Amino acid sequence: MRKLGGVWDPFDDYVVDFALAARRRGERICLVTLVAIEGASPRPLGAQMAVAESGEWVGYLSGGCVERAVIAEAVEAIRAGLNRRVRYGRGSKYLDIRLPCGSAIDLHFDVQVSVGDLEAIERRQGERRDASLHLADASVGPERPGLIRRYPPRRRLILLGIGAAPVCLGKLGHATGLEALLFSPDAATRQAGQRAGVATFAMNRAEAMPDIRLDRHTAVVLMFHDHDVELTLLSRILLGDSFYVGAMGSRRTHEIRLAALRDAGIAEARLQRIHGPAGLFAGAKSAPAIAAAILAEIMMSEGEPLLVESGERQSTVACG
């Protein structure tokens, strides 16, 4: 993801955009994937880096222990034109690179990813659909299944509200790689959101739910101080598949909210999906503290595995 000014964020989890931009300007690239872990690792299976032939890169695979060596290896693989699998840490040929607690990681270097593969991933993610890529790794032998790297859509954060707190949460969400969208019936809130660089949209009236798909990769947070407007919104939101639904307010406010939704006929199982009061810690009074508490709770929700064996049942469609 590009930052303001067109600079790439080197520590973004989404590396396809960078890899595709490099290929389109004529550079060869290497897509590096974390495919095995022995011991502990700060990054999950499927974590990736994209390295261009120039040495420019996006993504990270450790806490800073191996990235420079990975860049050098990736450039060498690009020039050789061959995929490879390399171990770092315990049992590695690189004796000078040590990982914490004697751990080891295996990385797959893929220099044969086509522009078509990358464009297919980009297109499906733009449509909010899952994509996947088969990792061609001849080194594991024919007796072992291949690996598939899944590419779910970028996690989206839908904010509905008025005031400083939704603007702060939009800024924090964007900074952590979420696609933040702020909807507000209040012009001053929208103007503040726009100045903060958050994608901002008007609501015709506070109780009107925006026409937007709430899929399983989406978090929704209601941030109104007038809680009466929430009932219609929540009735619609709870019909979607959002992985997180949060609403501001005190514990007493949340009890009243749930009672009103029960009276409206909302099933108890759906009501249990609401995080209320939203936020990992209670008692926050400033807008930044409220935003940080809610974002921390959202980030605790684990996503689906990024790396699976090709023999496992798939709900994604492979690219290419």
Cα–Cα distance between 154 and 15 in angstroms, integer? 11
Cα–Cα distance between 219 and 222 in angstroms, integer? 10
- CATH 3.20.20.70 correct for 156-299: no
- Does position 315 have pLDDT exceeding 60, yes or no? no
- Does position 190 have pLDDT exceeding 80, yes or no? yes
Q: Tokens 């909010």 belong to which residue? A: 128
The pLDDT assigned to 320 comes to: 35
The pLDDT assigned to 239 comes to: 92
When comparing pLDDT for 119 and 136, which is higher?
119
Angle at 275 between CA 264 and CA 177, to 5 degrees: 125
The pLDDT assigned to 2 comes to: 64
pTM comes to 0.86
Predicted confidence band at 209 (pLDDT cuts at 50, 70, 90)? confident
The domain spans of the chain are 16-151, 156-299
The pLDDT assigned to 100 comes to: 66
- Give the burial class of 287: count Cβ atoms within 10 A of its Cβ; 0-12 exposed, 13-18 middle, 19 or more buried: middle
The pLDDT assigned to 318 comes to: 44
What one-character-per-residue DSSP string does 288-314 give? HHHHHHHHHHHHTS----SEEETTS--
Cα–Cα distance between 35 and 16 in angstroms, integer? 17
Q: What is the mean pLDDT of the chain?
A: 88
